[in-house]
Amino acid sequence: MTLQNLPARVKLVDVGPRDGLQNEKQMVPAAVKIELIHRLQAAGVRHLEATSFVSPKWVPQMGDAVDVMAGITRRADTVYSVLTPNMKGFEGALAAGANEVVVFGAASQAFSQKNINCSIEESIERFAPVVVAAKASGISVRGAISCAMGCPYEGDVSPDRVELVARLMTAIGVDHVGVADTIGVGTPRAVQAAMEAALKHYDLADISGHFHDTYGQALANTLAALELGVAQFDTSIAGLGGCPYAKGATGNVATEDVVYLLHGMGIDTGLDLDALVDAGAFISNHLGRKSNSRVAQALLNKRATA
Ligand code: HMG
Ligand code: MG
């Protein structure tokens, strides 16, 4: 296999505190979320999704967003992103001092309805004032395009749908879009097709991949996106993650696994794999189960037998 176009450096956004913990059955105390964020910072993470300003009736696990944001010992060089589905969420994010907000739309109408209770077109109408207000406050805006390869309600999703949402997002001024495989059904060619659809409206530097690993394809899909030159990915410590409105979807690709892949190919991330393994062990121990990261498991086993 020839691997061309690979970036020399890749930026990873750790979504574990948000995507990871929004899907846990047990409520995780704010203090544990804050400790996880501090451990991620210690491992070199400079961009993370800290929490969501969404309805606590819809996602009770993110109901402590204000406490989590207030409890973080911030680093000036770190971006603390939060999810904001509407102006109410944005107001919370602004008050909490988030320096990036994420508007989250979908390439499938059914998922949009289930997740944020409105159509794709209505979601864009709700996001537009969020983008204007964020820009006025110097806050950057990322957009997520969920179900870019498949939907739990509609099945296969065509790249045309991704292109449509990317076009709508760029029209309202969203700076960057994440192409998200919410239910982890994508395979490398489908991922490249979805990325290429988003690339019709965004520069390579302004798109990222967000791959859930439900079908075990996320590392292959990451490599497929890297081959296109994509240099930013959402990953989740210990492979935590899932969406309460995408039943059966499991965690995001594990940060530790992506870091091992990238470092093994000589691609810089600025992250310390051993410290990430420690952060992953901290949250996995709290949750009372093994990490979903194969790399973390391997390194923990190696440590235990050293
Ligand atoms: P709605 O019920 O249509 O909202 O929900 P509404 O505007 O009609 O308001 C109803 C009530 O909710 C009101 O309160 C509002 O104040 C309140 P009441 O008067 O009844 O007491 N409300 C809010 N409260 C707090 N924060 C807010 C907010 N907005 C309204 N921002 C809404 C619409 C979007 C709010 C709801 O559907 C929602 O919160 N959905 C969030 C779902 C979610 O967080 N899903 C997981 C994240 S997405 C994801 O994981 C995918 C991703 O990882 C990428 C991928 O993998 O695909 C990003
Ligand atoms: Mg997700």
Please indicate, yes or no, whether the overall pTM of this predicted structure exceeds 0.95. Answer: yes
- Give residue 169's pLDDT band: very low, low, confident or very high (50, 70, 90): very high
pLDDT digits (tens, 9 = 90+) for 191-217: 999 999 999 999 999 999 999 999 999
pLDDT at position 108 over 70: yes
- The count of other CB atoms within 10 Å of the CB of residue 121 is 11
The mean predicted confidence, pLDDT, of the chain is 97
Sign for the CA dihedral angle at 124, 144, 225, 194 comes to: negative
Residue to mutate, 13, 54, 151, ligand 1, most ligand atoms under 8 Å from C-beta:
54
285 Cα: distance to centroid of ligand 2 (angstroms): 22
> What digits encode the pLDDT tens for the residues 216-260?
999 999 999 999 999 999 999 999 988 888 888 889 999 999 999
pLDDT digits (tens, 9 = 90+) for 69-83: 999 999 999 999 999
Helix (H) or strand (E) holding 264: helix 255-264
Q: Which 3 state secondary structure label does DSSP give 282? A: helix
Instruction: Check pocket membership of 153 for ligand 1, CB cut-off 6 A.
Output: no
Q: Using the predicted structure, report yes or no on whether residue 5 has a pLDDT greater than 90.
A: no
Q: Smallest Cα–Cα separation from 108: which of 177, 184, 165, 188?
A: 165
Of the candidates 82, 179, 171, 202, the one whose C-alpha atom is nearest the C-alpha of residue 134 is 82
Task: Output the pLDDT for position 242.
Answer: 84
pLDDT score at 247: 85
Could you tell which of 51, 55, 174, 214 is best to mutate to test the pocket of ligand 1, judged by most ligand atoms within 8 Å of the CB? 55
Active site residue 151: no
Residues 218 and 249: beta-carbon distance below 8 Å? no
Q: Domains in the chain, please, with CATH?
A: 11-305 (3.20.20.70)
pLDDT of residue 2 exceeding 70, the answer is no
DSSP string, 73-84: ---TT-EEEEE-
Asked whether residue 64 carries a pLDDT value surpassing 80, the answer given is yes
C-alpha 116 – ligand 1 centre gap (Å): 6
**Cα 262 to chain center, whole Å?**
18
Atom in ligand 1 nearest the alpha carbon of residue 118: 3
